Amino acid sequence: MGERLTGKVAVVTGAGRGIGREIAMLLAEEGAAVVVNDAGVNVDGTGGESTPAQTVVEAIRARGGQAVANYDNVADFQAAEQIIETAVREFGRIDILVNNAGILRDRMVFNLSEDDWDAVIAVHLKGTFNCTRHAAVRMRQQKAGRIISMSSTSGLYGNTGQANYGAAKDAIAGLTRVVARELGKYGVTVNAIAPAAQTRMIATIPSKAREIRAQRGVALPGQRVTELPPLRAEPGDVAPFVVYLATDAAKNINGQIFLVRGGLVALLNDPAPVRTITKNGRWSAEEIAQVFPLTLGMDLVNPAPAQPPAEASQ
């Protein structure tokens, strides 16, 4: 057992399975007392059981760590407060919040139902906001804290069939950038991870969708068609960097987004202007059309160029 987080208290949402479970285990291994939150739902958000969270708590305790289970739904504002308050009640404080809970309901945008949109936004975006909001009050008061939220390349890069998930995950990136600037002065850091790992969530994506993404070069990172074996992507591979961000060593890393898959950890750039056109006075649309191909648009690639009808309808 390490001692990097001795005396610290962490909340990990969606910690009953997959990436969240591994994060909770490693936080505990480094000495943190952990609230293992998981509503125990299916990948699409239906159902609910206490077993996943309880199993992780038992595993942590079996290794000599401290943990307590919580089954509240992150998507509910009051319930999220209870998740954070569980940490305070059981362990006296909250130092680390890992927003990991999520569900998936993939559909092409022209077929996406309101319910599939709402459910995914509620768990990912509202859930991340809710927990962050309640933790922020305490972290601000104690002038210390770590918030690590899960974003995704689905939103950062754009994955077909994931308008709801991609929107929610990019929204989490935006939320991260704003809250980093709001809480930084109080000694709190707020960062996001875009993880890739083989979990039950990934297993729900139809293999055909994955093939199409791979062909277009918009695959999940490392999944392009190639003779090389794919990069490893175990759920436990994400945990070390998340835990690193939670330690004192990372106290000045704030407002950043990192990609983590297997043994690969990458810092993503912040959005910034890459090329600018300016003139004296207002542009006309005709003028923009004239200069665009030589300037702003010179090397743009359409990620999904128009296809002839026969191909497009496949």
Partner 1 sequence: MAKMLEGRVAVVTGAGRGIGRAVALGLAEAGARVVVNDYGVDVHGEAPSTGPAFEVVGEICAQGGEAVANTDSVATWDGAARIIQTAIDHFGRLDILVTCAGILRDRMIFNMTEAEFDAVVAVHLKGTFCCIRHAAPIFRSQRSGRIITFSSGAGLFGNPGQSNYGAAKSGIGGLTKVVARDLGKYGVTCNAIAPVAATRMTLTEEFLRAREIRRQQGIVREERALARLEELKPEDVAPMVVFLASDHAANVNGQFFLVAGSSISLLSQPRPVKTIFKADDRWTLDELDAIVPQTLAEGLVNPAPPREG
DSSP 8-state assignment for residue 224: S
Which residue in 73, 99, 100, 189 binds partner 1 (CB under 8 A)? 189
Establish if 219 lies at the interface with partner 1 (CB under 8 A). no
- Compute the Cα dihedral for 286, 287, 291, 295 and give only its sign: negative
Of 160, 222, 224, 230, the residue at the interface with partner 1 (CB under 8 A) is 160
User: Is the separation of the CB atoms in 70 and 10 below 8 Å?
Assistant: no
- Convert residues 106-145 into a mask of x (bound to partner 1 by CB under 8 A) and - (unbound): --xxx-x-x--xx--x---xx--xx-xx--xx--x--x--
Length of the chain: 314
What are 211's two structure tokens?
Answer: 């093939």
Q: Whole-number minimum distance, CB 61 to partner 1, in Å?
A: 21
Among 9, 97, 148, 180, binds partner 1 (CB under 8 A): 180
Phi/psi of residue 192, nearest 5 degrees? -130, 150
Between CA 232 and CA 234 the distance in angstroms is 6
Supply φ then ψ for residue 98, to 5 degrees.
Answer: -115, 110
User: Residue type for 84, please?
Assistant: I
Q: Is 186 in the site for partner 1 (CB under 8 A)?
A: yes
Q: How far apart are CA 135 and CA 146, in angstroms?
A: 10
Task: List all residues 6 or more positions away from 294 whose beta carbon is below 8 Å from its beta carbon.
Answer: none
Count of residues that interact with partner 1, criterion CB under 8 A: 119
- Please indicate whether residue 165 is annotated as part of the active site: yes
Segment 234 to 263, residues that bind partner 1, using CB under 8 A: 234, 236-237, 239-241, 243-244, 247, 249-250, 252-259, 262-263
User: Least distance (Å) from partner 1 to the CB of residue 50?
Assistant: 26
Site for partner 1 in 3-42 (CB under 8 A): 4, 30
Among the listed residues 157, 165, 186, 244, the single catalytic one is: 165
Whole-number minimum distance, CB 248 to partner 1, in Å? 10
Span from 6-14, 38-46, 47-55, 282-290 in contact with partner 1 (CB under 8 A)? 282-290
- Alpha carbon of residue 275 to chain centroid: 29
Start-to-end CA span in the chain (Å): 53
Is 229 near partner 1 (CB under 8 A)?
no
Q: Which SS3 state, helix, strand or coil, does residue 243 take?
A: helix
Which residue from 46, 62, 185, 225 is in contact with partner 1, where contact means CB under 8 A?
185
x/- site string to partner 1, residues 52 to 81, per CB under 8 A? Answer: -------------------------x----
Under a CB-based contact definition with an 8 Å cutoff, are residues 132 and 173 in contact? no
Q: How far is the CB of 313 from partner 1 (least distance, A)?
A: 9
Cβ of residue 306: shortest distance to partner 1, in angstroms? 4
The span from the CA of 138 to the CA of 88, in Å, is: 9
Which residues carry out catalysis?
A: 165
